[in-house]
Structure formats: C-alpha cells, structure tokens
Amino acid sequence: MHEVLAAVLQVRDGQLQVLLWQRGIEPDLGRWALPGGRLRHCEDVQTSVLRQLAEKVDVREVAHVEQLEVFSAPDRMPHRRTMATAFLGLVPCVADPALPDDTAWHPVADALQGSPGTAFDHGLIVRRARDRLRAKLSYTNLGFALAPPEFTVSA
C-alpha cells in the first residue's frame, strides 16, 4: 500500500507547531498521527496530499508544500507493508483553520520528545520536516511562507 503524509507546520503562540490527529482505530489507537491517507489510483502524490489535508483536517491555506522523503522500512506499519511519501507543508501564522475535534496543533519540540505519543514513525517524519525547514531557512526565502503578509523588520 502507498500512503501520503503531511508534516504541516505553523508558528502558533510563538513556537513552531505541527498538525496531528488522534487515531480512532487500531493499530496505535489514541496516538497522534500526521494527516494523510491512501493514494488513489488516479492521482499523483502531491494532488493526494492536498486532497487529504482539505478533506480530513480542513486545511486549505497551505502556503508551501514540498515532497520531503519516502519512508519504506518494511516494519514501519505493524499490520501491512506500507510505503509513505511524506510532505512538508507550511501554513502562514495568520491562518486559523477550523479543525475537526480529533485534530490539534502540537509544539514540534514536544512531538520530538514523545509528547503527545505519536503513531508509527510519525515522530521521525516530524523531525525530518523540522530539519528540512531549519536547513532551508539559511539559503531560501521559505520563512516567508510562515510569516504574515506584512511584518516589520527591526534592528
């Protein structure tokens, strides 16, 4: 099976946060997962991840999305072999999407330390997304995707 996952990041309350939804089924019932789902036969991975974000967690204001990495370890999912194409998504700080009850923003620092408990290898994917963002801030203008439309630069 092939799925797409999105590590959607936003600056909220002064810190970098990641969007997670609480799993309502086994395996990993009650643990926090990245939004995503199965790739349909008729769509490419980028179309799929944008559809998943819009349909499942009602996030449509993604200012930047890029393919992050393919996660394909044979044991990454306990019940069946599943490959995941992960994406990094950035939402501007002024956006405040209405989220379903089982979905919430969590500080990236907490997710990297295991709180809340993340499902499967999703903590690793959050780490890779944070690392990619951190690296690209030094040589691209990607930070503007997280910023409000207007802001002041002070010395």
Question: What pLDDT does 155 receive?
Answer: 57
Per residue in 46-87, pLDDT tens? 999 999 999 988 888 899 999 999 999 999 988 889 999 999
68 near 87, Cβ under 8 Å? yes
Q: Which of 22, 24, 1, 130 is nearest to 77 (CA)?
A: 1
Question: What pLDDT does 108 receive?
Answer: 97
Residue labelled with tokens 């789902």: 37
Residue 23 tokens read as 């799993």
Query: How open is the CA angle 90-136-45, to the nearest 5 degrees?
Result: 50
Torsion of Cα atoms, 145 then 149 then 150 then 151, to 10°: -30
For the chain, the structural domain boundaries read 2-145
**Residue 48 to residue 70: CA distance in whole angstroms:** 15
- Determine the CATH number of domain 2-145: 3.90.79.10
**Residue 52 to residue 48: CA distance in whole angstroms:** 6
Question: What pLDDT does 60 receive?
Answer: 84
Question: What pLDDT does 154 receive?
Answer: 64
Model confidence at 114, pLDDT cuts 50, 70, 90, reads confident
**Residue 38, φ and ψ in degrees, nearest 5:** -70, 145
CA distances from 155 to 93, 101, 143, 152 (A): 22, 41, 18, 10
pTM over 0.75: yes
- pLDDT over 90 (residue 153): no
- pLDDT over 90 (residue 147): no
What average pLDDT does range 118-131 have in this prediction? 96
At position 20, the amino acid (one-letter code) is L
Q: Is 87 helix (H, G, I), strand (E, B) or coil?
A: strand
- pLDDT over 80 (residue 143): yes
Question: How many Cβ atoms sit within 10 Å of the Cβ of residue 121?
Answer: 19
Per residue in 30-48, pLDDT tens? 999 999 999 999 999 999 9
